[in-house]
Amino acid sequence: MPQDNLPSSDTEDMDYNNNGVVTCRRKNKRRRISSTSADEGDQNSNLNLENSDSNEVFSSWSKTNFNPVKHAFDDRNSGVKSNLTQESTPLDAFQHFFSEQLLSDITKQTNNYFTFVKENTLPKTHSRINSWKPTSICEMYGFLAIMMLMPRTKKLTLNEYWSTDELIKTYSFRKIMARDRFMLLLQMLHFNDNNVRSDEPLFKIRHILDALKNSFAQSFYPYQEVCIDESLMLFKGRCHFRQFIPSKRSRFGIKTFVLCDCKTNYVLDFIVYTGRHTDIVHDFTTIGQAANVVMTLLRPYLGKGHTVITDNWYTSPHLYNLLHKEKTNAYGTVRKNRKDMPEINTSLRKGKFDYRCTDNLLVLKWRDKKDVWMLSTIHEPKMVETGRRNHITGLPKLKPECVVNYNIKMGSVDHVDMVLSTLHSHRKCLKWYKKLFFHLLDLSLYNSYILHQSVTGKKQKYNEFQLKVIKQILQKYPQNRKSTGGGRRNIENLPYRLTERHFPSKTLNAEGNVSRRKCVVCKKQNQRKDTPYQCKKCNVGLCVDNCFEIYHTQLQY
């Protein structure tokens, strides 16, 4: 059983050491979090602001037959809501989030930040800043393409990507952009106006956060089951809301609360944890701060029959009772010492369970290697087969139905973190908002991968999709970087065959005689044809009549 060992929001407090690291420590005191973004005009303001559960005592727990009331869900509106079609390319899906308009805003703020730095600092005589030229949307797309390409070729430092050492050099980076220009763009990268002051913790990247969150929500409507879990982005630099969580692999980092669709693993929404200024809505004052996170993430989907799955950091009887009133199903692990939980003191053997229920809630205690507590509004207290067999007796293994469903559905957020960890764009950064921006870039790329797969029906791996996006960015937004020389080149898999000047020539062998090569276009079309002509620049054989034009004008041939 997956268990989350994060401290509960109503049993933890924060310590700040001399380095500004937030350390979670347990206390019997509830941490207060105030929201700075609660909007009285929210579209879901019809929720009852006075929580009727505040004075309710769950005194009616009993061991009777539990018949759950499941709220119906209509899945006809679920799925992709963007304007993508079966002919859409991976770049089209990616630009649904990182559009030219968003890149235009980033370009504008980056250029403005250079002006701000120049006016407020005295750069050294030989500083890289002195060579600054205003950047453009085309160049910014090339910059992002390099950032996405870097994790595919692991090197120790950024400078090594432009190294000319024969052992470690990688030609493509020098071909796309000069090293000094890339380092200068990374230094000047900015997302807000520095002339405007604000005490909001996420002010540095607020515009990007809001734009992407809106795009995520508008592009996809979830299926019936969604899950909520935490994600920790590794960061060890200066950041006053950075957290230290020993149970996590990264331990230090920026925590986000993530809402995922269980069927596709699409990231629907997220909240960046910033301490007492976290963007959560406090419409319900008696259910706890962790439960308020759930209600904030679910606001657009309440009353529509969705099923939300949570772990023991969020789950409580008051939260689930409130969700049931809002016509939302729920189940998940729960801590036995939560407020108004029933006492089940039965000593159980391994594989056995006991339960208590009210009209709407079921609390189940199941003995595995240790006691597992579950809370549900839709499951009956019964055992089902897991699909596995006992290797000694050969009998099917049985588990409670809610436990089986939880194990299958709860891992969406962890799955997203696992996939992104293989190809994460963010390198070591001193500025937390830049690190968070590159993490949002990865999330956007992953969501575009889900959208493209859902619309086109083409099954492909995430790494293949990412590489196609990089190629298509460089094809659509050429960087006009002059050749840096350096030996024989084969650019069959690079985009420059569409943007540079190419001429046909005879294929000559070492003795100077005409020889023949296989035509790459004919080979791609499952035809074998030898030709005496080639493109010397691309170093490929091509039929001079049709294939030469096709190869240098068509992206997909």
pLDDT in tens, the chain (557 residues): 444 433 333 334 444 444 444 444 433 333 333 333 334 334 343 444 344 444 444 668 888 889 999 999 998 999 999 899 998 999 999 999 999 999 999 999 999 999 999 888 876 767 778 888 999 999 999 999 999 999 998 899 999 999 999 889 898 899 899 999 999 999 999 999 988 888 899 999 999 999 999 999 999 999 999 999 999 999 988 999 999 888 777 789 999 999 999 999 999 999 999 988 898 887 776 788 899 999 999 999 999 999 999 999 999 999 999 999 999 999 999 999 998 899 998 899 999 999 999 989 999 999 999 999 999 999 999 999 988 898 888 889 999 999 999 999 999 999 999 999 999 887 778 899 999 999 999 999 999 999 999 999 888 999 999 999 999 999 899 887 654 444 444 444 455 677 777 888 888 887 778 888 889 888 888 888 889 888 887 888 899 888 988 888 887 77
What letter represents residue 513's amino acid?
N
* Rounded Cα distance, 334 and 347, in Å: 19
DSSP, res 514: B
**What pTM was computed for the model?**
0.78
Closest CA to 235 of 248, 220, 221: 248
Per-residue model confidence (pLDDT) at position 23: 46
256 phi and psi, to 5 degrees? Answer: -130, 145
| Structure confidence at residue 403 (pLDDT) | 95
| β strands within 420-543, DSSP E | 504-506, 517-518, 530-531, 533-535, 540-541
Dihedrals phi, psi of 372, to nearest 5 degrees: -115, 130
Q: How far apart are CA 66 and CA 361, in angstroms?
A: 8
Cα 220–chain centre separation: 14
Q: Pull the structure tokens for residue 368.
A: 């595995």
Contact 291, 282 (CB under 8 A): no
Cα radius of gyration (the chain): 28
Q: Which residues are 353's β-sheet partners?
A: 366
What pLDDT does residue 150 have? 93
- Helices 317-325 and 289-297, packing angle to 10 deg: 30
Task: Write down the pLDDT at residue 414.
Answer: 92
Q: What is the 3-state secondary structure (H, E, C) of 30-88?
A: CCCCCCCCCCCCCCCCCCCCCCHHHHCCCCCCECCCCCCCCCCCCHHHCEECCCCCCCC
Cα three-residue angle 257-258-264, rounded to 5 degrees: 170
Residues in CB range of 1: below 8 A, 6 or more apart: 333, 368, 372, 403, 406, 407
Tell me the C-alpha distance between 31 and 8, whole Å. Answer: 10
How many CB atoms are located within 10 Å of the residue 157 CB? 9
pLDDT at 98: 96
The full DSSP string for 314-368 is T--HHHHHHHHHTT-EEEEE--TTSTTPPP------TT-EEEEE-SS-EEEEEES
Give the residue carrying structure tokens 């000593």: 347
Type of residue numbered 222:
P
Cα dihedral 378/342/313/247 (nearest 10): -120
